[in-house]
């Protein structure tokens, strides 16, 4: 499970995107914009904006924790079993699979660079509809992850290397990300 700090950061990113889109958006579009932002951060800086893993699904990568919150809110869950997610859940409203923010993002969780990446992604991809964005995520890397799932359904997670490769990261950046992951694993 994620820490409260990690959940608050994910919430801030989701709310920032929803606010800056300026309208309701569906699950697919929100998921793809979050994926493109994460990808851009990895390609450019070798690090993520937020700590949510992406799972391969029919319509492309889906941020696991964010999707869980969306589905729990949609179902009317009382968050007794998921109390850590209650604050995040109260920040969004869902109707007909369309998501809106009920409050502003706590931007103290976001650096200037992170906001710049989010703004760039919203500017570049925000006008596209969900199906076009979904199509844009169905690249060679997505196909590789879907192939892994055929062998083992538990291998549905896009690794940070997968995401960075999808964005065209250089070999030097991929090496940097690998080294950071090895250190993180060794220290955990």
- Would you kindly state where each structural domain of the chain is located, as residue ranges? 4-187
Rounded CA separation 149/143 (Å): 10
Instruction: Count Cβ neighbours within 10 Å for each residue of 56-73 and write b for 16 or more, e otherwise.
Output: bbebbbbbebbbbbbebb
**pLDDT confidence band for 22 (50 / 70 / 90):** confident
pLDDT at 79: 85
With beta carbons less than 8 A apart as the criterion, state whether 20 and 119 touch: yes
With beta carbons less than 8 A apart as the criterion, state whether 147 and 139 touch: no
**Residue 172 predicted with pLDDT over 90:** yes
Q: Which tens digits make up the pLDDT trace of 112-169?
A: 999 999 999 999 999 999 999 999 999 999 999 999 999 999 999 999 999 999 999 9
pLDDT at 23: 80
Q: Which tens digits make up the pLDDT trace of 26-54?
A: 999 999 999 999 999 999 999 999 999 99
Rounded CA separation 137/145 (Å): 12
> Shortest CA distance to 114 belongs to which of 33, 41, 23?
41
Whole-model pTM: value is 0.96
Rounded CA separation 158/164 (Å): 10
pLDDT at 188: 84
With beta carbons less than 8 A apart as the criterion, state whether 132 and 7 touch: no
């Amino acid at each position: 499970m994620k820490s409260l700090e990690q959940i608050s950061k994910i919430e801030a990113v989701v709310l920032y995107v929803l606010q800056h889109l300026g309208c309701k958006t569906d699950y697919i579009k929100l998921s793809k914009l979050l994926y493109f932002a994460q990808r851009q951060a990895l390609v450019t800086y070798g690090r993520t904006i937020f700590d949510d893993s992406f799972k391969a699904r029919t319509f492309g990568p889906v941020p696991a924790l964010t999707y869980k919150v969306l589905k729990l809110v949609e179902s009317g869950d009382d968050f007794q079993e998921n109390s850590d997610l209650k604050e995040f859940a109260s920040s969004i409203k869902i109707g007909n699979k369309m998501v809106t923010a009920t409050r502003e993002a706590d931007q103290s969780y976001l650096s200037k660079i992170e906001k710049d990446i989010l703004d760039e992604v919203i500017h570049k991809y925000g006008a596209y509809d969900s199906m076009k964005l979904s199509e844009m995520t169905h690249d060679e890397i997505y196909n590789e992850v879907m192939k892994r799932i055929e062998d083992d359904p538990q291998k549905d997670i896009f690794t940070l290397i997968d995401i960075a490769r999808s964005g065209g990261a250089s070999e030097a950046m991929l090496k940097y990300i690998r080294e950071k992951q090895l250190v993180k694993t060794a220290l955990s």
